[in-house]
Amino acid sequence: MKKPGHWLSWFDKNLIKILLSIFIFLIPLYPKLPFKMVNFTYIAIRLEDFFVFFLTFIFFLQILRKKTDLNWHYFLLFLIYWFFVFLSTFWGIYIIKTIDVKHLGILHSLRRVEYMIVFFIALSETKTQKDFFYFFSLVFSALSLVIIYGIGQKFFGWPAVQTMNPEYAKGYLLFLTPEARVSSTFAGHYDLAAYLVFLIPITLGFFFSQKKIGYFFIFVLSLFVLVLTASRVSFLAYLVSVFIFLTLFRKWRYFLIIFFLTVIFTFSSKNLTSRLSRTFQVKQLFVNEKTGQVIVPQKITSKELPAGSFYLTLKDNQTLVDQKEEEIVKEKILNEIREKNIKKGKKLSPHEEKKLVNKQLNSLKPVKTVVSDISFATRLQIEWPRAIQAFLKNPLLGTGPSSITEATDNDYLRWLGEFGLLGTISFLIILFTLIKNIYQKTSKLKNDKKILFFGYLFGIFGLLINASYIDVFEASKLAYNFWLISGLFISGINYGKNKI
């Protein structure tokens, strides 16, 4: 019988590995239930924050005890980025005063460190090829459970916990309507989709390298759930990253198989095809050229993505008025008139209402245009200009984290707006170093080994496409997984006793 001292020694040696194994399941699977809401925002302190703090504490304690090590080459790169993040925070709070709520700016800064510290823990614990495949067996197990829950959410009514708006963020259990987009255990459909975009090429890389059919089965289900999210930019990122990946390694048979699977799944989802078709539409708008008022003639329903008010005028402009659309505009004007008069305590006669409606209608000019959907229009008219203005206000340091609200829906513009050129460039240098390291070290490997690591490179490529439309590197579940998996791959290619 082994003595208690032996078990304690084993536990001490493997404590970080045990905690990291729990972490791999906890992050993607535990819903975003709030532990404590942060004042003046719908951001919350959650269970995983405490777990990451404990894991980090144990990690640095073991470094001090020389039970594990820290990769200083990467740590210095990360420190430079974190320095600029906190410098931007200080600048925004105390110098240019663009961060109104101090603790919120500090929280956003700390979250950057929290997400990225996992990279070093994964890096230090992947010492052998056995460790590499052990941790990835957990990653794929967690991915499988996320997929199963997403399918159950769509077809069996399993609940969701989302943070898509301040009310949802309080931790309510939501039951999706038939046309709703699947979010599985994630905070919303967009970060679930980005998570899948990152892991799909990695899954294919393992399949081609290890030649185990289970990986392909996970890929097929991942693709199916990606379609259920109906995230257009993620779907585009998937198409570009996966099919270039397959072309690069001349996997022509699987190119055709995956192409047909993609077509079948896509056309089986009315939600995705409808959103794709409504991204840009040729419509007739009604514009008041004096005031700039734009009225979009459309019936708003939960089943269709409405058009926004951002438009481009076509040269062959159509002046003939569509009678059906004119009636919709009249109804909108009438509702606005009634709402205003109810607030004033007035009630107009039908004749007076008709007179006012015709007066407003006569001031509107019908314009044939290409109009974007409301999602894209919001980015073009509000979120992206706001980030650009923040960058122009202070190009070097930006206006600080949280200064341009919770989301910009474009990571590149968010980095520039919040952290300026210094923060943005230092972050991109980290990503470039990861990519360069993997690319250079795999150049001498055989194709069956090289393709494993190129799956990771194309996963990053997919995320970089996704980042043009969604703040993917700030979505907590995705960010944790990105840095964790990056640590595993960098360790696997560089520092293992038995390199992959």
Domain map of the chain by residue range?
20-273+385-494, 279-380
Q: Note whether 195 and 185 are within 8 A (CB).
A: no
Q: What is the model's pLDDT at position 297?
A: 65
**The pTM is what?**
0.88
Alpha-carbon gap, residue 381 to 383, rounded angstroms: 7
Q: Note whether 115 and 480 are within 8 A (CB).
A: yes
Alpha-carbon gap, residue 375 to 70, rounded angstroms: 43
Q: Where are the alpha helices (DSSP H) in 126-248?
A: 129-155, 189-210, 213-229, 232-248
Q: For residue 149, with 0-12 CB atoms within 10 Å meaning exposed, 13-18 middle and 19 or more buried, which class applies? A: buried
Positions in the chain whose pLDDT score sits under 50: 496-498
If we measure between CA atoms, which residue out of 391, 417, 393 comes closest to residue 406? 417
If we measure between CA atoms, which residue out of 362, 356, 380 comes closest to residue 286? 362
Amino acid at 166: P
How far CA 303 is from CA of 179, 199, 329, in Å, comes to 6, 29, 21
To the nearest 10°, report the CA torsion of 382, 386, 388, 390. 180
Q: Note whether 401 and 88 are within 8 A (CB).
A: yes
